[in-house]
Amino acid sequence: MLLAGILAAVLSGVLMSIQGVCNTGVSKSAGTWTTAAFVSLTAGAVSLGIRLLAGKHESGFSALAQVQPRYLLLGGLFGAFITGTVVLSIARLGTARAELIIVTAQLIAAYGIAVTGWLHAEQEPFSWRKFLALCTALGGVIWYSL
């Protein structure tokens, strides 16, 4: 089970980098927000197709009405801004620098969310070891960007 999670995370990271480069290329012709809309619509269509194939293994869309607290449904809104900001950052910083900053920012934000239990995340205790690892990652971003 752990190995499947690790492989999924690695695949996700690789696909996010590839997607960022592809989206940045499309945005040169179509613009940032047209690209973001296209990506969102494509992702929605693919997700809907996979959901239909999943059949009984998935709850129906009516289950969304039961989600509490309601602000948890804002993921799609964040997704649109994620796509747009990834495109902008890659266009201005280059792929490697942008992705390095994005991933480091994700790590810092994720650790802050985990330590505080914000957004109903499972809360974990503060760890100096993890904090120092994040500081090291941040130092690596600065070093890489010089």
Note down pLDDT in tens along the chain; length 146 residues.
899 999 999 999 999 999 999 999 999 999 999 999 999 999 999 999 999 888 777 888 889 999 999 999 999 899 989 999 999 999 999 999 999 999 999 999 999 999 999 998 999 999 999 999 999 999 999 999 88
Distance, in Å, from the CA atom of 48 to the CA atom of 32, rounded to the nearest integer, reads 24
Nearest to 12 by CA among 74, 80, 102, 133: 102
Question: In the prediction, which pLDDT does 54 show?
Answer: 85
Q: Which residues of 13-35 are buried (b: 16+ CB within 10 A; e: fewer)?
A: eeeebeebeebbebbeeeebeeb
Distance, in Å, from the CA atom of 94 to the CA atom of 99, rounded to the nearest integer, reads 8
